[in-house]
Amino acid sequence: MNSNPKPLMHLKNNQSARIKHIHGGLGLRKRLNSLGIREGQIVKLVSKQPLMGPLTISVGNTQMTIGRGMAHKILVEEI
């Protein structure tokens, strides 16, 4: 297990990681929390769209799409 957190957007397709920290204000944290994305959760990168497009991630049994800016603020630890 890699103990050095890195942004979610740097994961490879089909790679899973645990969310270690979310950089951002209260608004971002509330938005992510409403999507089920919070510290300690396991997240899997399903796919990245080309040309700075969004990322599709899986949290639990739910898949969702988030922007790269948001993904850059979510620090994860590979598992």
- In angstroms, the CA 64 to CA 40 distance is 18
- In angstroms, the CA 72 to CA 22 distance is 9
CA 57 → CA 41, 45, distances in Å?
A: 12, 5
The answer to whether residue 54 sits within a structural domain is: yes
Q: What's the domain count of the chain?
A: 1
Does 74 have pLDDT greater than 90?
Answer: yes
Does 2 have pLDDT greater than 80?
Answer: no
* Domain with 73 in it: 6-78
The CATH number given to whatever domain includes residue 28 is 2.30.30.90
Are 10 and 78 spatial neighbours (Cβ–Cβ below 8 Å)? Answer: no
Q: Supply the pLDDT for residue 17.
A: 96
- 9-68 pLDDT, tens digit per residue, is 999 999 999 999 999 899 999 999 998 899 999 999 999 988 888 999 999 899 999 999
DSSP H helices in 1-79: 26-34, 68-72
Does 1 have pLDDT greater than 60?
Answer: no
pTM of the model: 0.86
